Structure 1
Amino acid sequence: TFSRNLENTTLMFPELSGIGKQINAYEVILDGEAIGVDPATGKLIPFQETMSRKRKHDIEATRHKIPLKFFIFDILYRDGKELLDMALSDRRKLLEQIVKNGAILTISPQIVTDSAQVIRRYHDEQLARGLEGAVVKTWDSPYEPGRTGYSWVKFKEEEGKTGKLTDTIDAVVMGYYKGQGKRTGFGIGMFLVGVRSGDGFVTVTKIGTGVSDRLWKEFRVKLEKIKTKEQPKEYVGVHKLFTPDIWVLPKIVVEIAGDDLTKSPSHGAGVAVRFPRLVRIRSDKSPRQATTVDEVTKMYHNQTTSHS
């Protein structure tokens, strides 16, 4: 198994050694996500907890306590044939022929509709199950790795219930500010994040909410390893208002949500995230896969159009 940025994660998922009986192919590349399942309730466990099993002793200690289920979204390759240009409708048919639902692998459920009301109802049903929402895909779309526009759109709680940001943002941590009050003990109280601009990164917001005590400590350990005395050359046009206490190298990607985007003459992205909050650390993404300035600009314009 490989993460989004091609990190080999096979050792994290020893359960996959037994999936041969569920796959009707000699060679296959599948797109999916591993999620922990609470054996007592059957409910899914947050992604961040699943991804915490990175060291061997963590894996051995948790694999029986928290069993994993692998939800399969798509198929990219089968027995010598690349399938990226095949329409989603055809890839789905092929996927259902190749993967047999079982204890380890499960094809992610779907509905096919052109009704906004049906989509909203399905979305709300997923929220009721404790999931984030739904992904809406164009039925004839090819498989295009990375962010490629609006053929695939995440429809999450903010859009379905409150009209907030229509997507989360994958941002790069650029630096952090020392904590005050309760956070003094963590050594970090807020962090500065940015989005990609060409070969560099520009600021888009500071974040201090949505982070548990455990995650603050985890952040401190990660950031301590990549801190640097000088502002990295990749960080372009950082306003003095946002100069962090400690700079860090562009290594960590975080997924952030917010209420909306506002114009900002101070942030390098030209817009700022209002009421930002951390969703999760994206250890499966590299900084080169972070959201771009063009993408947040498009989000801003789409937001203002929908509000008018």
Structure 2
Amino acid sequence: MPQGTWSLIVRYGSVPLCSINCWPRRAIFRVHEAARPRESCCSSLITNSLRAPTARASSAEQLEELFVAAQARGNEGLMIKDLESVYTPGRRGKSWLKMKRELATLDVVVTAVEYGHGKRIGVLSDYTFAVRDGDRLVNIGKAYSGLTDAEIAEMTNWFLEHTIADHGLRLEVQPKIVVEVAFNNMMRSDRHNSGYALRFPRIVRLRPDKLPEEADTIERVREIYQQQGHGQEKADSSLRSE
């Protein structure tokens, strides 16, 4: 049982189970069977009302239609599987492919930076960034990929010269650097004081041509969030600040 499951059962009385495969049933271990019989096994155990949508496609046009429908449901994209493939724990290989598309890009302001790991020890490669909310900046995410080593080295020097608070591995910096970030999905979250978080954000490019006053706004964030199929909503002002 996953860590924390028991406390959820005590609190809510039940816990949802998300199953992506059917392995043992009636003492038969099905991990080495092809995807087709495993799918049939799942279908016999789970009612249609609880099943995730599945479909078969044989052309790029059909895949595009299914992808558009998935995004309309608020899903990130599609998981494409070869029906004759076996399940390999811990590995998908080319038999399982994710089909997803960048939702949008945002021009954001860097508010804090952190030292990296591995080959990026000693350089500031992890950027926390924000959007505009009236006359203030509210954080919406953190990215650590997308820039070249040369760009990271150059920006490290700049951030060290423009630090306003030093917390050891994390530095708060003057909010003057604008970067363009891409992401796959947007969700509500109390991790950042914007009330939102980006899924798989990565830096597309530095935007030295833009001032912080030209960065995207929280209204633009809400617009993108609603385009995912979440409908109209009001920001929750009680969300915890970062």
CA displacement at 1:305 relative to structure 2 = 5.4
CA displacement at 1:279 relative to structure 2 = 0.6
* Counterpart check, 1:278 vs 2:203: yes
Over 3 Å counting, the alpha-carbon distance change for 1:256 and 1:244 in structure 2 is farther
Aligned residue among 218, 223, 226 for 2:159: 223
Map 1:255-274; keep pairs closer than 5 Å. 255-274=180-199
Q: Deviations over 1:219-263 (max 9, x none)?
A: 1122122111279xxxxxxxxxxx971110111100000111111
C-alpha distance in 2, partners of 1:173/1:244?
16
C-alpha distance in 2, partners of 1:267/1:304?
22
Which residue in the other structure is 1:212 paired with? 148
Map 1:44-193; keep pairs closer than 5 Å. 162-165=100-103, 167-186=104-123, 188-193=124-129
Q: Deviations over 1:65-85 (max 9, x none)?
A: xxxxxxxxxxxxxxxxxxxxx
The residue type equivalent to 1:302 in the other structure is Q
C-alpha distance in 1, partners of 2:203/2:142?
10
Please, what is the CA RMSD of the aligned residues?
A: 2.6
C-alpha distance in 2, partners of 1:176/1:304?
32
Q: TM-score, normalised by structure 2?
A: 0.51
Maintained 8 Å contact 2:115/2:122:
no
C-alpha distance in 1, partners of 2:193/2:224?
16
The residue type equivalent to 2:140 in the other structure is V
C-alpha distance in 1, partners of 2:220/2:180?
14
Aligned residue among 116, 122, 131 for 1:195: 131
CA displacement at 1:174 relative to structure 2 = 0.2
Maintained 8 Å contact 1:175/1:244:
no
Unpaired segments of 5 or more residues in structure 2?
1-98, 232-242
The residue type equivalent to 1:295 in the other structure is R
CA displacement at 1:172 relative to structure 2 = 0.3
C-alpha distance in 2, partners of 1:230/1:212?
25
The residue type equivalent to 2:113 in the other structure is Y
C-alpha distance in 2, partners of 1:190/1:291?
20
Q: TM-score, normalised by structure 1?
A: 0.41
Which residue in the other structure is 1:56 paired with? none
Which residue in the other structure is 1:249 paired with? 174
Among all aligned residue pairs of Structure 1 and Structure 2, give the percentage whose two residues are the same amino acid. Answer: 35
Q: Deviations over 1:15-53 (max 9, x none)?
A: xxxxxxxxxxxxxxxxxxxxxxxxxxxxxxxxxxxxxxx
Q: Deviations over 1:72-109 (max 9, x none)?
A: xxxxxxxxxxxxxxxxxxxxxxxxxxxxxxxxxxxxxx
C-alpha distance in 2, partners of 1:245/1:230?
7
Higher relative CO (Cα under 8 Å, sequence separation at least 6) belongs to 2
The residue type equivalent to 1:183 in the other structure is R
Maintained 8 Å contact 2:131/2:216:
yes
Query: How many pairs were matched up?
Result: 135
C-alpha distance in 2, partners of 1:292/1:179?
28
C-alpha distance in 1, partners of 2:169/2:217?
22
C-alpha distance in 2, partners of 1:284/1:174?
18
SS for the counterpart of 1:279 is: strand
C-alpha distance in 2, partners of 1:213/1:181?
13
